[in-house]
Amino acid sequence: MTQVLSEQEMIRREKLQQLLALGIDPYPAPAYPITHTAADIKANFNETTQESYKQVSIAGRIMMVRDMGKANFAVLQDSTDRIQVYIRRDDICPGEDKTMFDTVWKKLLDIGDIVGIEGYVFVTKMGEISIHATRFTLLTKSLRPLPVVKEKDGAIFDAVSDMEFKYRQRYADLIVNPSVRDTFTRITKMKNAIREFLNREGALEVDTPVLQSIPGGAAARPFVTHHNALDIPLYLRIANELYLKRLIVGGFEWVYEFSRNFRNEGMDRTHNPEFTILEFYVAYKDYFWMMETTEQLLEHAAIATNNSPVSVIDGKEISFKAPYARVPIFDAIKEHTGFDVSEMDEAGLRDVCKQLNIAVDPNIGKGKLIDEIFGGKCEHHYIQPTFITDYPVEMSPLTKKHRSKPGLVERFELIINGKEIANAYTELNDPIDQRERFEEQVKLMERGDDEAMFIDHDFLRALEYGMPPTAGIGFGIDRLAMLLTGNVSIQDVLLFPQMRPERTEQ
């Protein structure tokens, strides 16, 4: 396909050729020596440290140039921050030949080009920490203009907000929107804090298969592929739960995994077909212990991400400070709908859905009906972190029956800002009971429920060797990232969210 160039793109290619004609490599191979970063200089330069900044070397992208004739001010952006650069012709070109300033700097470089700057740090008359350049080196010539973003007194104007552009060209979005880079930096801090907490408590990080012969561990529609050498269908994992439990059977007492999962379902502000789940399983614990551990972990992660246990999203302050409220699911439904569904059969639940104007699939069973009622009429009320507990057995095929409440299981979901963030069980370790639960799922599948679970016979075999009493949990890491960074769309916390292919390539 022939590439169609804009006028600006053609001009930049012409400049590229002029640079080559001057003997300047626009993409030099050698590594460039960097001694300082923009953030380091701005944070640490002062009267007492200025000796340490008499010779600095920094590299970054030109984001703005203010031409003042024989001197220019420019803004350079590296991976840490932006910093002002003062560049004067006589410093760059002390001899008779002024080509590097008059031609290269002023005529052949553009916004978006990546350069190395050598010089010393000083404070301008306006009080701004800057670099007085004594030399510059072109490191990369940019052939495509950046979107125009205006900045004055630290405020961003005309920030790129077109969603199609932001998500499809995330690389450009990261360049021109500093807040986007900040979001993903904070997400890394969040994940590191979670790992730090789990490692400190003695958990072992593991890896489990992404390609699975049985898509187990959750009720979801899988992606299907084919392995040519083995001539068998395989599934991209919808969950890693059953493999982590196998490791508990094998003798590990606490395992966890940041799992990239895939579900062939709809897309919206809280769902992407590819997403990250943190799951961990701990032997000899139950869901009561898991609630307390979850509170401690999330408070730790919030402070690491925001320097505070409080996060603000969509105008709401959410406190991750322990403890969190605990509400049985039937109590929640009764409070917010007026219906006591605890003793209802499938027909009664369908009648409640009809009265509440909740459209439901005729193929789903009792558990899904209760889930639809809670999701449609109750979930959005829980803004502060709340454990919704004690689910009916029909909703939880992998969960241990409640020790004191017949018909229920020892399960909780953590709801924050009206959305499920985590799902936890006292795990079912009775292999006979587990087989019967799987068989009930097969009946739902035969009725047409395409999210019902498959029977995993190898997992049942593992349980027959004996799995100790175990607590397990799965966290939606992307949704947690939304909460802790104040983003209301999952696409804003995924570097490369799923999108339709572009119609044409450029």
Q: Which amino acid is at 301?
A: A
Closest CA to 64 of 24, 110, 99: 110
3-state secondary structure of 186: helix
* Start-to-end C-alpha separation, the chain: 9
Provide the sign of the torsion angle of the four alpha carbons 483, 485, 488, 494, taken in this order: negative
Helix or strand run (H / E) with residue 407: none
Helices and strands (H and E) in the chain: how many: 15, 20
Q: Which two tokens stand for residue 477?
A: 């890491």
Q: Which residues pair with 58 in a beta bridge?
A: 117
Distances 72 to 69, 116, 480 between C-alpha atoms, Å = 7, 16, 45
Closest CA to 89 of 115, 70, 117, 116: 70
* 3-class DSSP assignment, residue 6: coil
* Residue in 119, 46, 108, 47 with CA at minimum distance from that of residue 76: 119
* 3-class SS letters over 425-471: EEECCCHHHHHHHHHHHHHHHHHCCCCCCCCCHHHHHHHHHCCCCEE
The two structure tokens encoding residue 23: 């003997």
Strand partners, 343: none
Q: Is the dihedral of CA 325, 328, 332, 338 positive or negative?
A: negative
Q: Three-state SS for 176?
A: helix
- Give kind and range of the element (H or E) at residue 506: none
- Binding-site residues for Mg(2+), in ranges, read 413, 420
The answer to whether the beta carbons of residues 477 and 278 sit under 8 Å apart is yes
d(C-alpha 401, C-alpha 414), whole Å? 19
Overall size of the chain counted in residues: 506
- Rounded distance between C-alpha atoms, residue 452 and residue 444, angstroms: 6
Q: Which residues are part of a known binding site?
A: 413, 420
